[in-house]
Amino acid sequence: MKKWFYLIIIIFFITDIFSKSVDPNHILLFPNVNGESGFIYNPSAYYLKEGSFSLGLHPFIFVANIGVIDLLELGINLDFGVSSDFFEILKKGSINLKCGILKEEDQFISMAIGIERLPLNLIENVRQNEFFRSYLTISRKILDMNFNLGIKKNLLNENPDLSKMEYMFDISKILNETVLAIIEYDGEKYNIGFKISLNYNINVELFIKNINNIDKINAISALLKDYLIFGITYIQ
């Protein structure tokens, strides 16, 4: 197991050597694993400007976002691991929607609300999509760090009680002006990882999810399959 952690560290430093300095605020606009701009699984309160777009690829999951108008980000999420038939993939696809409310440049904090993974095939898939949630999130940058707090509500939960929500938080820090190191709680599990900027447009990403259970791993295959996530994201 230690060999894999050494390999992760080596990959991190080699990638960082060839990366270029980028505005730390810019890194938070790249898509997360769930699709919307943000951290690992959690969304941030930041969103794409009108006319900007971003792409993301994490194992078998492809996402594309666009700034429709200022304050509004719209995206699509496709899981190519569910089938080899594109129409079946499309049927299982989903939409992300994020709307900005506050900007920290004007109101001290940034705030956004949104919906993640609204099924495209709403009639057939809405009851099967465990990720379909609404959320409210608040972000604030302080020097080279970012603090993020938010709540999520599973919209498929039979109990409509608004008190039955999941809480999320992120603490992230810029390293070497090119790397965003993240510690995250997504409402169910703790995750850690890096978003490494190769240039203004491209990030490579390395995440370890569910680290609170990582001591239970008894095989390398389990680490690769259930815990380790590699990704590449693009923004224009």
Residue 140 in this model has a pLDDT that exceeds 80: yes
Separation of alpha carbons 195 and 139, rounded Å? 17
- The kind and range of the H/E element at 9 are helix 2-17
Per-domain residue ranges for the chain?
A: 22-191
Separation of alpha carbons 45 and 41, rounded Å? 13
Listed range (32-41, 91-100, 112-121, 126-135) with the worst mean pLDDT: 126-135
Give me the mean pLDDT over the 199-220 stretch. 80
- How many CA atoms lie less than 13 Å away from 16 in the CB half-sphere? 17
Per-residue model confidence (pLDDT) at position 60: 87
Separation of alpha carbons 216 and 219, rounded Å? 9
| CA 104 to the chain's CA centroid | 21
Per-residue model confidence (pLDDT) at position 117: 87
Helix (H, G, I), strand (E, B) or coil at 118: strand
pLDDT band at 19 (very low <50, low <70, confident <90, very high): very low
| Residue the block writes with tokens 């409509």 | 160
Q: Which carries the bigger pLDDT value, residue 122 or residue 32?
A: 32
Residue 175 in this model has a pLDDT that exceeds 50: yes
Give me the mean pLDDT over the 45-53 stretch. 93
Separation of alpha carbons 54 and 65, rounded Å? 5
Per-residue model confidence (pLDDT) at position 86: 82
pLDDT band at 1 (very low <50, low <70, confident <90, very high): very low
Per-residue model confidence (pLDDT) at position 156: 64
Most confident of the ranges 51-55, 102-106, 197-201: 51-55
Give me the mean pLDDT over the 60-82 stretch. 91
- How many CA atoms lie less than 13 Å away from 235 in the CB half-sphere? 25
Listed range (2-11, 99-108, 194-203) with the worst mean pLDDT: 2-11
- The kind and range of the H/E element at 27 are helix 24-27
> What are the C-alpha distances in Å from 169 to residues 23, 141, 182, 184?
22, 14, 10, 6
Note the pTM of the prediction, 2 decimals.
Answer: 0.81
Give me the mean pLDDT over the 218-234 stretch. 76
Closest CA relative to residue 65, chosen from 92, 44, 86, 83: 44
Which amino acid, residue 218? N
The DSSP letter of residue 123 is: H
Q: Is 210 left (phi over 0), alpha (psi -120 to 50) or beta?
A: left
Per-residue model confidence (pLDDT) at position 76: 93
Contacts from 148-151 at CB under 8 Å and sequence distance 24+? Answer: 148/39, 148/42, 148/44, 148/45, 148/172, 150/42, 150/43
